[in-house]
Structure 1
């Protein structure tokens, strides 16, 4: 492999003919978008839509990607001139495309001043974010800024050298205001309920804590459209890199493996302009809330439930879980009987077909989406993926045994020991606290009582709700007694 050339502008012409490459000259790209959180999902989703818009002869929308923590993405892609390959995978094989929309990569901790100055450039019209739930420095249960978060405390004290996404956004907006440059639009592409409104809440609160007048300016002048994003993007493996090298004839240090399906629903509120994403599959609407709720509850809620139960049952990937006894039926019933009744109407939308498509996507054996990867950061994800659905069921005085089983599986998972007595590598901002809370606790009531103490996850209402507590205790008791595989098969 050492003699194989690296993917770059210079090597594009030598790629195998089956590889789709940019049809535009990248030297003419302007920076129109700064993206915070330049991870795999962004590069499989928004960067692809933007690449299409650029290829349609709109060179204003080049992306500068910013890593807020690790230099890994920059180190992999900078020698490749920002180029990378997207491999679309299903049972019919793999299709390869090189994406050229990322024109620069920065690592915020290395040079925060450079990041801020790029964000303050007049040509930048959009700052988008895929920073995961924990990157918003907010309390998931309250959807409000966590003012005690160490990064927020730091950034309020050091506004010119921020470390959080929120700190960068507010300082960049402050600089644009001081220089008479119109604000950029802030575009959250994370799986948060009302993600635009949530982002507005944390940004304006932070800005107000820093300076009341700045807070009012951002509240009045900055647009925060909400979005719904959907595409399954597993972590890239060394085997994926080897496969790409053989197919393309070049080395790509960080290709993206994904599914054919991609969806992007966006509220159309971009005062400073935007790419024509709608020409390439995005859907612009007046209100994204119904689509967002549908996706969060049906796809993300089901995905998390499959991940925790599947991991405990010993399955490595979601497609493995879907092939195991009882799981496909379990998730279909959960979708139909417990989640669907909580959704608002979507006139003209075929919800039954959407749910069938979701289950088919979960079965895609080519993706190899690991249950352990999906299980990360559960304390940040559960409120919007499962707990709010349960709240709707409680309000309707309706049962929710499978949703409760999803919560119980998470509780079993975060104790840190699997059903075979092996340690679980729990990746979560609250991992140490959850390990401490559940130490020496063996019974379902004791584990449930301990974890319900996490008010930032469960709020004040659910721990006090006897129906909720009883349902989760019963589900966890079954998991502890019989194990996940037997419990699901018997459900």
Structure 2
């Protein structure tokens, strides 16, 4: 996201609290008095997805009477000039920003979101972040810190205490760097002052994300003080949730486009598809907004929704991204215009994934499959394949390992997953099959992984630490399919490989 002002036409309204009344009637503005809103939620990880998803649901709650206690304070953990500039840009607009939703037919809906009251840059002001977390008004601490941000060992599922940021936070509790350092120190402060806990609400794409968040927070706390860990287990809730909405990156071209549509000079606009879903366990130890009145599904079977989304939608995103990049595509909907890609995705869903996924009660997996393809085909979104592909070392095991593990156990077809991994192998080397450069962002690869990638080992990608528990390089049947697929990808190209993978039994 660009934090620089877009070049706006002369009629553009500079976005701030004082200019809301000047905004065109075609743009919806906050229908409540922001001066009366108090912060009840602290959100760590203020990215585009959070601002297009959770913040929108909270915005709709704030429009209802009696919901003034649920404003949001955002927290950014990352350091560096770009991160500081982002916080400055958000705060210069009093936390306001535009959300433009694009329907598949090309129509748009634009609104100004007012739920985000302030953005705190944690490295610059750790004491302010801790004070807000420890404040009695804070009832919910929500998270979008990426799938790999929970710091769990992929094989053991245990919290990695040796991670440098964790070690720093254990030694410097008043000046933390990680989300867990901030959460645990603030809970220690609340405990010390006789206050209760809050709800930690993960909004990341993880199976059982509430349980994962609990493991991370409690493990960190136990390493610091076992009694504090016991208090947290008794006074903090960690509901599981399933989140779903495509919110692509916003560069300078997208900023100019949506600002022209809205007539607003917005430094931090967000765009998203029309579709949005949020399924949450109703386990909020300190209260919550009236989510049930604004479209949030409060259910006891969140894990079945998580399984459906992770193993169908998110897995399809990963299955799509690497072969499509090898074809030379960079935008999702453009890739879907290649029939071989559509057939390959449908074959993965119909032959590999759906037969071993049990969907939630009342949900048709066949309709869900059709909806996935339709969402990917939406030409108005312009979602970037690299946005999906990046951080694959963390995402691929989460969304594909269980399906691949079951295929290995029952002797299913490996051709489609093998093509994904062979394409991932090329992506890691920073270029597509035509030699065009790819910007690779893989922060969770170890030094050993990077050494493997730089080696001549044809099975290096199968030996990367994220896939270690599957022992793929030891499975002769899978290796044979992988070798055949990798050779085909190199010699015949991506489209031919996609066609043959789709046709495999």
TM-score > 0.5 by shorter chain: yes
- The corresponding residue for 2:258 is 244
CA contact (8 A) 2:147 2:394 kept: yes
2:20 to 12, 15, 33: 12
1:61-460 alignment runs, 5 A limit: 61-69=70-78, 70-90=83-103, 91-430=105-444, 433=447, 434-441=449-456, 446-448=457-459, 450-459=460-469
The gaps in structure 1 that reach 5 residues or longer are none
- The corresponding residue for 1:490 is 500
**1-side partners of 2:22 and 2:483: how far apart?**
60
Judging changes above 3 Å, is the alpha-carbon distance between structure 1 residues 392 and 266 closer, same or farther for their aligned structure 2 residues?
A: same
Question: How far off is 1:451 after superposition?
Answer: 2.9
SS in 2 for 1:162: coil
Question: How far off is 1:490 after superposition?
Answer: 3.4
Question: How far off is 1:279 after superposition?
Answer: 1.1
The number of residue pairs the alignment matches comes to: 486
- The corresponding residue for 1:35 is 43
Judging changes above 3 Å, is the alpha-carbon distance between structure 1 residues 208 and 371 closer, same or farther for their aligned structure 2 residues?
A: same
- The corresponding residue for 1:60 is 69
TM-superposition CA deviations, 1:181-219 (whole Å, max 9, x none): 110100000011110111111111111111111112222
CA contact (8 A) 2:452 2:464 kept: no
- The corresponding residue for 2:4 is none
Give the aligned CA root-mean-square deviation in angstroms: 1.7
Question: How far off is 1:402 after superposition?
Answer: 1.1
Judging changes above 3 Å, is the alpha-carbon distance between structure 1 residues 401 and 108 closer, same or farther for their aligned structure 2 residues?
A: same
Question: How far off is 1:431 after superposition?
Answer: 5.5
Judging changes above 3 Å, is the alpha-carbon distance between structure 1 residues 220 and 477 closer, same or farther for their aligned structure 2 residues?
A: farther
Question: How far off is 1:109 after superposition?
Answer: 0.6
SS in 2 for 1:96: strand
SS in 2 for 1:452: helix
- 1:47 equivalent in alignment to 2:55: yes
SS in 1 for 2:14: coil
Judging changes above 3 Å, is the alpha-carbon distance between structure 1 residues 355 and 17 closer, same or farther for their aligned structure 2 residues?
A: same
CA contact (8 A) 1:338 1:399 kept: yes
**1-side partners of 2:495 and 2:450: how far apart?**
24
Question: How far off is 1:422 after superposition?
Answer: 3.7
**2-side partners of 1:384 and 1:456: how far apart?**
9
TM-score (norm 1): 0.95
Question: How far off is 1:346 after superposition?
Answer: 2.6
SS in 2 for 1:124: coil
SS in 1 for 2:43: strand
**1-side partners of 2:158 and 2:478: how far apart?**
24
**1-side partners of 2:189 and 2:146: how far apart?**
26
**2-side partners of 1:298 and 1:369: how far apart?**
18
CA contact (8 A) 2:418 2:482 kept: yes
**2-side partners of 1:431 and 1:487: how far apart?**
27
CA contact (8 A) 2:463 2:471 kept: no
CA contact (8 A) 2:239 2:280 kept: yes
**1-side partners of 2:320 and 2:485: how far apart?**
15
SS in 1 for 2:17: coil
Greater mean deviation of Cα atoms: 27-36 or 154-163: 154-163
The gaps in structure 2 that reach 5 residues or longer are 1-7
Question: How far off is 1:11 after superposition?
Answer: 1.1
**2-side partners of 1:180 and 1:66: how far apart?**
25
**1-side partners of 2:409 and 2:279: how far apart?**
28
Greater mean deviation of Cα atoms: 230-239 or 37-46: 230-239
Judging changes above 3 Å, is the alpha-carbon distance between structure 1 residues 209 and 468 closer, same or farther for their aligned structure 2 residues?
A: farther
CA contact (8 A) 2:13 2:23 kept: no
**2-side partners of 1:235 and 1:200: how far apart?**
29
Greater mean deviation of Cα atoms: 141-150 or 373-382: 141-150
**1-side partners of 2:406 and 2:208: how far apart?**
17
SS in 2 for 1:148: coil
SS in 1 for 2:102: strand
**2-side partners of 1:124 and 1:136: how far apart?**
22
TM-superposition CA deviations, 1:87-131 (whole Å, max 9, x none): 001323221011110011101111111101100000110000001
Question: How far off is 1:428 after superposition?
Answer: 0.7
